[in-house]
Amino acid sequence: MTGLRLDVGFVDYLILAIYFATVLGVGFAVRRAIKSSADFFLSGRSMPAWVTGLAFISANLGALEIVGMAANGAQYGLMTLHYYWIGAVPAMVFLGIVMMPFYYGSKVRSVPEFLRLRFNRPTHLFNAVSFAVAQVLIAGVNLYALALILQALLGWPLPLSIVVGAAIVLAYIVLGGLSSAIYNEVLQFFVIIAGLLPITIIGLVKVGGIDGLFDKVRNTALGDGGLHTWSTTGGTDNTLGASWIGIVFGLGFVLSFGYWTTNFAEVQRALSAKDMSAARRTPIIGAFPKLLIPAVTVIPGLIALVTVQGLGAEEGDLTYNNAIPLLMRDLLPNGVLGVAVTGLVASFMAGMAANVSGFNTVFTYDIWQTYVRKDRDDAYYVRVGRLATVAGIVVGIGTAFIAAGFDNIMNYIQALFSLFNAPLFATFIVGMFWKRMSAWAGFWSLFLGFLAAFVLYILHLTEIVKFNSDLEQSFWGAGLAFVTAVVVAAVITPFTPGKSDDELRGLVYGSAGDSLVADRVWWRNPVLLGVIAVVLAIALYIPVW
C-alpha cells in the first residue's frame, strides 16, 4: 500500500484528533442519560424527526456508500445512479408512508419481533439469527474500509488498522448505546459531506468541469455507454451487464425494498423517533439528501477512472475500491486532506455503528431475552447489550478479512442483500397485505427464499450458471428469492391455520387504526414529502437517460 500513503501534515492530524475527541465526548455525555434498556437500544423513543432523518441516511453512508459506490462509478459509470434513484428513494418513501405505521404502532423493538407477532417463533428466530450474521458481515466491510484509510494515512499494517478502527467504534457504542450512535451520525453526516465535496470540486476543475469529465469518460473502456442510465438497458450489452428487467425488478423492487424496509439497522433509527409522525417522516427526510449523494460518490469514481492511470487492477493499490483514497492522494492539499480523511473515517464509523447497534439490539431482545434468559431486570439486559456490542465488534474484525478478499466490496454487499433481505421483504410484504397468510407459511417462505438465493449464488461461484457480472447475479438472485418466497407462501397457507383478527390487530394492512392518517401540516405530511422525493428522482434521470 506504499502507493496509497498520504502526505499528511500536522493540521490534518489535528483535525482528525479533534473529530475523535468529539465522537468519544458524545459517548460520555450520552451515557448519563442511559437509565433503561429502552434508552440504550431505542433512545427512549424521544428523537425529533430531523435528527432521526439525518441519522437514517448517515447510517447508510458507510463503506457501501462511499468506497463501494465510488468503485462502481469507476467500473460501471452512470449506471451506478440506479442504486440511488430507483434503488433507494422509492423504497425509503414506501417505508415512511406504508410500513412505519405497522412498526411504530405495534410498539415492537425490532424487525424480528414484528415477525414473531405476525407469524411465529421459528420465523422470528431464523430472522433474528440471519440478521445478526448479516450485520457482523457488513460491519466487517465498513471496518475493512476504515482500516484501508488508517493504513493509507499512517502506514500501519492492515490488521493493526482494523483493530484500532474497531476500538474507536466500540468505545462510543458501549458508552451511549443508540443515542450515542444517532447523535454521532448527525455529526458524521456533515463531516462526511465536508470531507467529500473538495474531492468532487477539485477533481472537476482538474478535468475541465462536468463536460470535460464526460468527454474523457468516452475515451475510456466505458465509452459513451458509461454516461447513460436507461437507454442502453434493452439487453445486457451495457456497462452494468444487466437488462432493464433485472434493474427494475431485481434492484429497484426486491433488493431496494428488501433493504430499506426490513433492515433493522435502518428501521431502528425511525423507531427511536418521538411520535408516529416523526417516525414516518424519518426515511423520507433521509431521501432528499440521498438524491444528491452521487455528486460525492459516483462523480469522484468517474474522476478517478480518467485521472488515475491503471485503475481497475485486480489487486494492489489500483483496485476500484481505492478510487477515493487515490484521489485524496493526488488532488488534496494539507488541511483539506485532513477534512477529507476525517470525512471518510466518519462514514465508515457511521456505517459500522449502525450495524453494531442493530446487532446488539436484536441479539439482546430477540435472541438472549426471548430464548436464553427471560424475565431478568432491565439493568441486566443493558449489560448484555454492552457485551453483545463487544462481541459484534470482535466478530466484525474477523469478517473484515473476508471483505478484504473482494476487489469491489459493492459486489459482496449486494450478494449479502440478495441472500438475507430479498426473501425477508417477500415474506414481510405478503404477510402485511394478506391477512390469511399463515404462521408456518411465513417461516417456510423466508427459509426457502433464502435457500433459493444461496443455491444460485453457489452455482454462480462455481460457474455452473453464468452471468454477465456479479451484480447481475445478485439482481437475479434477489428476484429468485422473492418469487420463491411468494410462491411458497401461496402454496403452504391453504394447508395451515391462520391467525385470528385479534392476534393480527395492528400487524396487517387495514387493522392499523388511524395511524395511517397523514399529518395535516403540509411540510410534515409524509405522503406529500414522499411524492416530491419520487418526482425529483425521476427528474434527475432525464439529463442522463
Q: Is 103:275 a contact under the CB 8 Å cutoff?
A: no
Radius of gyration over every alpha carbon of the chain, rounded to an integer in angstroms: 22
* Of 75-89, 213-227, 460-474, the least confident: 460-474
266: Cβ contacts below 8 Å, ≥ 6 apart: 56, 59, 60, 259, 260, 283, 354
Query: For residue 300, what pLDDT is reported?
Result: 95
Say how far apart CA 459 and CA 467 lie, in whole Å: 10
Q: Which is it for the CA torsion 98, 102, 104, 108, positive or negative?
A: negative
Say how far apart CA 6 and CA 330 lie, in whole Å: 9
Residue closest to 277 by CA, chosen among 442, 521, 468: 521
Q: Which is it for the CA torsion 392, 168, 146, 350, positive or negative?
A: positive
Say how far apart CA 232 and CA 243 lie, in whole Å: 8
Q: Is 526:518 a contact under the CB 8 Å cutoff?
A: yes
pTM (2 decimals)? 0.85
* Of 73-77, 175-179, 304-308, 396-400, the least confident: 175-179
Average pLDDT in the 477-489 region?
A: 93
User: Is the model more confident about 139 or about 75?
Assistant: 75
Q: Which three cell numbers stand for residue 515?
A: 395511524
3-state secondary structure (DSSP) of residue 273 = strand
Q: Which three cell numbers stand for residue 287?
A: 431521501
Query: For residue 458, what pLDDT is reported?
Result: 92
3-state secondary structure (DSSP) of residue 47 = strand
Domain covering 2-544: architecture: Up-down Bundle (1.20)
Average pLDDT in the 443-457 region?
A: 95
Q: Which residues pair with 47 in a beta bridge?
A: 273
What's the burial of 154, exposed, middle or buried (CB within 10 Å: 0-12/13-18/19+)? middle
Say how far apart CA 103 and CA 112 lie, in whole Å: 11
Q: Is 196:343 a contact under the CB 8 Å cutoff?
A: yes
User: Is the model more confident about 304 or about 507?
Assistant: 304
Measured N-to-C along each axis, helices 121-154 and 336-361 cross at an angle, to the nearest 10 degrees, of 160
263: Cβ contacts below 8 Å, ≥ 6 apart: 111, 358, 421
Residue 231: band (very low, low, confident or very high) from pLDDT cuts 50, 70, 90: confident
